[in-house]
Amino acid sequence: MTLIKSISGIRGTIGGQVGENLTPIDAVKFASAYGVWLKQQRQKENYKVVVGRDARISGKMIQNLVMNTLIGLGIDVVDVGLSTTPTVEVAVPMEHADGGIILTASHNPKQWNALKLLNEKGEFLDAVEGAKILEIAESDDMNFADVDSLGKITKNKAYIDLHIIEVLDLDLVNVKAIESARFRVVVDGVNSTGGIAIPLLLERLGVDVIKLYCEPNGHFPHNPEPLKEHLTDLSAAVKKHNADFGIVVDPDVDRLAFMDENGDMFGEEYTLVACADYVLSITPGNTVSNMSSTRALRDVTEKHGGMYEASAVGEVNVVKLMKKNNVVIGGEGNGGIIYPDAHYGRDALVGVALFLSLLADKNISVSALRKTYPSYFMGKKKIQLTPGLDVDGILKTMEDRYQNEQLTTIDGVKIDFSESWVHLRKSNTEPIIRIYTEAKSQEEADGLADKFIEEITAVANS
């Protein structure tokens, strides 16, 4: 199961058999399907798509395949090269393009890559649109352009700078206060494009930047998911350089986590909580996060007089509910900040700027800031799936077993207990069942996760 076709795109490992991995043929097939879908939707004379990539070793190869496929369909391409997911999202409307493709497998290890697909607003496609592209890909019903109607490729490497300018121009980003604070920050760019974008942003804000793994060569120095166990080098660097805090992003820079001045994690879940606290203190309103995110966002939102609601997991689901509820800030507990005044996409650059504005405003340390928020502890574990396992049947069994508790089944099974919760769901991006828990202590959260791993394993083996 190393090729995952879902409504959110296609993701797989490089090399291997066609149809089982993300081979050149699979990349061309799905880029073709996207291009055909785009032309069916827009029905106009000229088409344009923005294409960018993170720094994965396979990125240049996959990008060339994708871009040349699109021009073969008669679609013009704007090649933004090494970029970030939010930068491509910002570039699409700036270019008045019809869509965008980002070549990145987010937090997955270096052998993975993926095609993330955007609409003309620079937002991810919804379930219906994604399903249609999968249908086109399977049908092979594709009509390519003749030799006189081929598209062309234009390079534009300015978009990270343009993205930074947009962030600095946001009303709530207090550039003067940040400059006056004279922060010193260590940045772990996991040798991808965050190593380009985040230091550039910080330097524009007058921050003293210490770079750690900021060479965009795609050789990830540690597991690229920004979790505590992967960040021992960042912790050591923060303490060594007497920094105010540390920043880490994932390879495509839509997830953001902080480390305090003592080299301890601020808590990936609390990235959104802190940014929301700052935004709500100036512009009160509603918030949204997904079902696997901390209850602390609800608490902070209600403190500021707003309403909180949880969506199904997945950025497109969060954005849909954000628009419905007219929220001022939302996102995902994995460090994904979605700030509508910027754009409807997870954006670590926006998150950094809002967090720095909050710190400068409060004039306290990162560890002191963390103590101002409700204290919840999360467990994030997973069970590797084996071929033929009836995941839906397993989840239904768990739903029946806990039918007397507060249940939500819009996305897997979430069971709310009085002092804790557990969320069981099949991942859209990896062959795993994710088990998220939250409780009043780390021991309780981990124990709850272990309990459900045992129960699911027993059901699977029965």
d(CA 329, CA 7): 25
d(CA 429, CA 431): 7
- 106 in active site: yes
* DSSP category for residue 149: G
182-219 in b/e form (b: 16+ CB < 10 A) is ebebbbbbbbbbbbbbbbbbbebbebebbebbbebebe
Which residues 6+ apart lie within 8 Å of 413 measured at CB? 395, 398, 399, 402, 407, 423, 424, 425
* DSSP category for residue 144: -
* DSSP category for residue 83: -
Ranges assigned E (strand) in 83-158: 99-103, 112-118, 153-155
Which residues 6+ apart lie within 8 Å of 374 measured at CB? 295, 296, 299, 300
Label the pairing between strands 9-13 and 112-118.
antiparallel
Report DSSP letters for 382-446, one per residue: EEE--TT--HHHHHHHHHHHTTTSEEE-SSSEEEE-SS-EEEEEE-SSSSEEEEEEEESSHHHHH
Which residues 6+ apart lie within 8 Å of 147 measured at CB? none
Q: Are 288 and 308 in contact (CB under 8 A)?
A: yes
Angle in degrees, CA 121, 125, 131, rounded to 5: 150
Choice among 32, 58, 83, 106 that is catalytic: 106
Tokens 């994690």 belong to residue? 265
Identify the CA nearest to 100 among candidates 137, 30, 52.
52
Half-sphere exposure of 85 (CA within 13 A, CB side): 29
Label the pairing between strands 329-332 and 287-290.
parallel
Identify the CA nearest to 73 among candidates 133, 32, 129.
32
d(CA 406, CA 417): 7
406-408: strand order across its sheet: 377-384, 432-439, 421-426, 413-416, 406-408
Catalytic residues: 106
